[in-house]
Amino acid sequence: MGHPEAAEKFIANDERMHWHDKALWFVREKRDLAAHGIPEWEELRRVAKQIKTHVMSKLDVYLEEFEENAKEKGIHVHWAKDAKEHNEIVLKLLLNRGAKKLVKSKSMLTEECHLNPYLEENGIDVVDTDLGERIVQLREEAPSHIVLPAIHLKKEDVGTTFEHFLKTEKGNSDPTYLTRSARVHLRKKFLNADASLTGVNFGIAETGGIVVCTNEGNADLGASLAKLHIASMGIEKIIPKIKDLAVFTRLLSRSATGQPITSYTSHFHAPVEGGEMHIIIVDNGRSKILGSQDFKQSLNCIRCGACLNTCPIYRRSGGHSYGYTIPGPIGSTLGPSKDLSANKTLPFACTLCASCSNVCPIKIDLHHQLYKYRQHVVNAGLLATKKHTILKVAAWVMKHPSLLDFGGKIARKIVPIMPRSILYSSANIWGKKRELPKFPKNSFKELYKQHKEGKK
């Protein structure tokens, strides 16, 4: 199913669609307030882009520096060329320590690798501990947003989910009550876990450590209790120096949720006492994107989610309609980079309004990338036949001015007198939620000509 078909299901509930739209716009407005409070905001974005561009020019050097420094600090480093190898390494590390119970904090990379089902098949009890992720895990859904995993759900949905799984009071959907219930439920999981897995926000080449940002404290709680800490990191998460974090921490949470900083910004540079810390460096198709002039900037992403919150299509179609691990504008370029055919409709889930590029803290040229990917889809022969034919006919007509004039003349006469039942029939997809403007008597060309003659 492509994005339009999946989105149709989402927008079928008009009230909820508008609610979703507003909820995300609220986050976008908070981002604006936070950004405007920093006079040097644009300079920060410029510098962040420069740092990332610099890193991508010598990623191999920085990754090796990172590994060397991590090892010096007693951290084990593993390399995984793809999702399969990543998952196998995680399982092996767990089995080596006899670990059966794993608590996880947010990691879109492990979603991308489909780690949870793989571990579950192999007898591991996996618990996502971020509240939003736990909610979607219990409902057997995927996160619909990279920062706000359960943004598609109303509190009543969460209430019924918890009623079923956590035996909370019937009909109680108070967010504080539900959060407290989840706290009690997950506290037990933390205390009984054999191992923890976290994502990585930044890997510092200079020090060989990683930084994880959370509000709930779940990454730290997991990693500080269990003796085994595994961190999964995409190759693009590397930054050169610890001081670079000043730039990225100032940008990240302000762009994400409008907070000045996350509650916890944790710098892991050692295992806990008597424990082990492992970092898995994962490629899974990323290094190929480095070689694409048009799409390489997508690797600069720090996963703040600002482009999702601002996107008129994302807000009105929901994260699940994208059918890719990462939804929204950034997912609509990463998806096709991963598999063009499977994600061929994503570059079209875009109005080319460029709002995503304007809010991106790293100034990624997102809307340009989506425009370019449309051309890739067409060139690969992947555009739907109907759409392709319509575009071909339109191009042909536009190349013949007299034909276009004639067509326009007929349309201006006929359309105004056509009955609504025909004009807004099911064939007119455009007219589903829109009204045609009033047709003028004359075309622009005719008016221009008259105006010019009148002047003489």
Partner 1 sequence: MSSKETILNSIRENTITSTIKLPETNIPHISYENKNEKYAAALASVGGNAVWLEDGDINAFVAEHYKDTEVIASTCKEFTNETIDANKPNTPHALENVDLAVIKAQFAVAENGAVWVKNPENRHRALYFLAKQLLIIVDKNAIVDTMHEAYEQIEFNKSGYGLFISGPSKTADIEQSLVIGAHGPTDACILFV
- Which residues are bridge partners to 110 per DSSP? none
**224 near partner 1 (CB under 8 A):** yes
**Binding track over 290-319 against partner 1, x by CB under 8 A:** xx-x--x-----------------------
Q: Are 210 and 200 in contact (CB under 8 A)?
A: yes
Enumerate residues 4-63 that contact partner 1 by CB under 8 A. 23, 26-27, 38-40, 43-44, 47, 50-51, 53-54, 56-60, 63
Enumerate residues 358-377 that contact partner 1 by CB under 8 A. none
* Residue 113, token pair as written in the block: 């690798």
Nearest distance in Å: CB 74, partner 1: 6
The correct pick among 158, 302, 308, 334 for binding partner 1 (CB under 8 A) is 158
Residues 6 or more apart from 387 whose CB is under 8 A from it?
none
Considering the complex, state which of residue 51 and residue 382 has its C-beta at the smaller distance from partner 1. Answer: 51
Distance CA 268, CA 234 (A): 17
Considering the complex, state which of residue 165 and residue 264 has its C-beta at the smaller distance from partner 1. Answer: 264
Nearest distance in Å: CB 407, partner 1: 46
How is 365-391 classified by DSSP, letter by letter?
-HHHHHHHHHHHHHHTT-S-HHHHHHH
Enumerate residues 333-352 that contact partner 1 by CB under 8 A. none
Which long-range contacts (C-beta less than 8 Å, at least 24 apart) are formed by 356-359? 356/306, 356/307, 356/310, 356/311, 356/328, 356/329, 356/330, 358/310, 359/28, 359/31, 359/255, 359/306, 359/307, 359/309, 359/310
**154 near partner 1 (CB under 8 A):** yes
Considering the complex, state which of residue 210 and residue 311 has its C-beta at the smaller distance from partner 1. Answer: 210
**144 near partner 1 (CB under 8 A):** no
Enumerate residues 249-288 that contact partner 1 by CB under 8 A. 249-250, 257, 259-270, 272-273, 281, 283, 287-288
**220 near partner 1 (CB under 8 A):** yes
**Binding track over 80-119 against partner 1, x by CB under 8 A:** xx---x----------------------------------
How is 391-422 classified by DSSP, letter by letter?
HHHHHHHHT-HHHHHHHHHHHHHHGGGS-HHH
Considering the complex, state which of residue 158 and residue 350 has its C-beta at the smaller distance from partner 1. Answer: 158
Residues 6 or more apart from 168 whose CB is under 8 A from it?
159, 162, 177, 178, 181
- Reduced to 3 states (helix: H, G, I; strand: E, B; else coil), residue 75 is coil
Nearest distance in Å: CB 104, partner 1: 13
Enumerate residues 177-196 that contact partner 1 by CB under 8 A. 178-180, 183, 186-187, 190-191
Distance CA 357, CA 302 (A): 14
- In terms of phi and psi (left: phi > 0; alpha: psi -120 to 50; beta: otherwise), the region of 167 is left
State the angle between helix axes of 41-57 and 59-72 in degrees (0 to 180), rounded to the nearest 10.
Answer: 90
Nearest distance in Å: CB 354, partner 1: 23
Nearest distance in Å: CB 379, partner 1: 21
